[in-house]
Chains A and B, each alone.
Chain A
Amino acid sequence: MALSYKRRQFFRQLTGLLAAVCLPVPLAYARWPEAHYAASPLDATLKQLFNDTMIEPSDQIDINVPLIAENGAVVPVTVNVALPAVQKIYLLVEKNPVPLVAEFALSEKMQAVVSARVKMAQTSDVWVIAETAAGLYKASTTVKVTIGGCGG
């Protein structure tokens, strides 16, 4: 009897321990929208992100990038959105294996200005999509990547 009691207690403790070890990882993963970062063409990524919601071109989105990037591993990007009530800014590189680079959800205290450094596999368009209270807006610009100095 004494043995089976100990065994039961042991399994109870083991279950608790397993739960403690396993739980934090799925929780940490849960917040990251894995499907958004699938290796797929840009069209498929946009469909995944916005379904078929209309995305209007806008000249109120300024994308500041170098015209020519000597090193595709580090391309500085600064986005400045002059639209009202910007809630989220999406940064995409069309020809990367995974087109979506990052999504920034901004509180209303933030200016719609974001800087980051992105990787570019090859010469490609950089896309910015701004999610505002009034809908989705997009803009894009080309960055020429000259890895190896061959003039890409």
Chain B
Amino acid sequence: MSSIKIRARLLGEAIQIRILIVHPMETGRTLEPQTQQSLAAHFIQTMTVRHNGEVIVQADMGSGISKDPYFAFMLNGGQLGDTISVDWSDNRGQHDSASETVK
């Protein structure tokens, strides 16, 4: 199952894009209570949002983004049935992508 949930909704002249990603976003500074060892850093570093294949948002982030990141953006123009796609990659080289049609 994809780690990404996208909701793209036409609001008047604009498209509201909401993105929810399942990811631990570990900072590398959290101590595991039993062992007192720090949990290894594991966080998304880059995320790209595309509208019909064209890049509209290029985001870089650190581990200061909360666990299971949520983002929302507003796109001017566009219409019903357009495709919004999202991909991310993290500091361990893992990545995922998903796409959704505008409703």
Chain A residues within 8 Å of B, Cβ to Cβ:
24-25, 28-29, 31-33, 36-37, 73-76, 78, 93, 96-107, 109-111, 113-119
Size band of the interface chain B makes with A: 35 or more
Selecting from B2-10, B31-39, B50-58, the interface stretch reads B50-58
Please tell me if the beta carbons of A33 and B56 are within 8 angstroms of each other in the complex. Answer: no
Chain A residues with Cβ under 8 A from B46's Cβ?
31-32
Most buried by B among A24, A28, A73, A93: A28
| B14 nearest in chain A by CB position | A111
Known contacts A111-B76, A115-B71, A116-B71; is A100 also within 8 Å of B57 by CB? no
Where chain B touches its partner, the secondary structure class is strand
**Interface residues in chain B, defined as those with a beta carbon under 8 Å from any beta carbon in chain A:** 14, 25, 27, 29, 45-46, 51, 54-67, 69-78, 89, 91, 93, 95
Distance between Cα atoms of A54 and B72 in the complex (Å): 29
Q: A12–B69 Cα gap in the complex (Å)?
A: 43
**Shortest CB distance B66–A (Å):** 4
Contact B51 A109 (CB under 8 A): yes
Partner of A114, one of B60, B64, B69, B72: B72
Q: Is the CB of B59 within 8 A of A110?
A: no
Q: Is the CB of B70 within 8 A of A116?
A: yes
**Residues of A close to B65: CB separation below 8 A:** 101-102, 116-119
- A37 to B65, alpha carbons, bound, how many Å? 12
**Which listed residue, B27, B51, B60, touches A102 by the CB 8 Å rule?**
B60
Residues on B with beta carbons closer than 8 Å to the beta carbon of A24: 93
Jot down 11 A-B pairs with beta carbons below 8 A, ordered by A: A74-B66, A75-B66, A96-B64, A98-B62, A105-B57, A111-B73, A114-B71, A116-B70, A116-B71, A118-B64, A119-B66
